[in-house]
């Protein structure tokens, strides 16, 4: 117990206060719901799988707001949230889609790889240069911040969720047009997925390259 206590105490502050703050607990819950949902989804319980998928989306939206509201932001929490996004949305859910849509597996894999690469290199470039991730000089990222960004994130999440659902059911049929609701939402949300992809490449990647090359040029000039 003494070893545990010594580990948890750091400079008068308890590490457990960071590990078990509200936003980080939400991340742990997200991880459990994700694994539970994937486990049931692999057994073709698509209703439960979709419910856990949607719960993950909602909690991902909530944890950041709670961290800012109660001033519980931490480097551990920020990194935990990003890695969880990668593992849940880009690896876990896309792997599930690759299994049920094998003909489109190459597209799904490329989409995930590009999203992970652009997000990660942008975050790293901001850490290296000390730039604010949410106040980018890139015009595309500036336009994306705010309402458009939130709509695109939720639209992207819903597109992939609807793509999962329509494999099993098209949902309640809309009168007159005789098309399932999930299929309608799939096409409505597709533009948001495309917007988010373009922003990742033309916004985050371009900005990251500019940041990092500027650092290299500055180092070169000092060494000349």
pLDDT tens per residue across span 76-123: 988 899 899 898 989 999 999 999 999 999 999 999 999 999 999 999
Question: Is the predicted pLDDT of residue 171 greater than 80, yes or no?
Answer: yes
> Rounded to two decimals, what is the model's pTM?
0.88
Residues in the chain: 224
Query: Which residues 6+ apart lie within 8 Å of 207 measured at CB?
Result: 122, 125, 136, 137, 138, 141
Inter-CA distances, 83 with 43, 79, 102, Å:
26, 6, 25
Phi and psi, residue 101, nearest 5°: -125, 65
């Amino acid at each position: 117990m003494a070893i545990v206590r010594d580990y948890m105490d750091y400079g008068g502050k308890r590490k457990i206060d960071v590990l078990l703050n509200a936003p980080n607990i939400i991340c742990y819950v997200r991880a459990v719901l994700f694994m539970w949902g994937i486990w049931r989804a692999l057994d073709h319980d698509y209703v439960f799988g979709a419910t856990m998928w949607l719960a993950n989306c909602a909690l991902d939206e909530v944890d950041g707001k709670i961290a800012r509201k109660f001033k519980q932001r931490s480097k551990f929490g920020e990194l935990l949230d990003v890695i969880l996004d990668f593992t849940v949305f880009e690896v876990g859910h896309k792997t599930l889609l690759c299994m049920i849509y094998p003909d489109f597996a190459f597209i799904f894999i490329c989409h995930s790889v590009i999203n992970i690469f652009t997000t990660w290199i942008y975050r790293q470039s901001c850490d290296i240069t000390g730039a604010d991730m949410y106040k980018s000089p890139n015009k595309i990222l500036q336009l994306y911040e705010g309402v458009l960004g939130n709509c695109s994130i939720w639209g992207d999440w819903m597109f992939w969720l609807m793509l999962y659902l329509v494999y099993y059911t098209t949902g309640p049929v809309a009168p007159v047009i005789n098309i399932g609701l999930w299929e309608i939402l799939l096409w409505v949300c597709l533009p948001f997925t495309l917007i988010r992809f373009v922003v990742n490449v033309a916004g985050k990647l371009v900005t990251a390259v500019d940041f990092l090359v500027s650092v290299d040029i500055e180092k070169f000039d000092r060494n000349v």
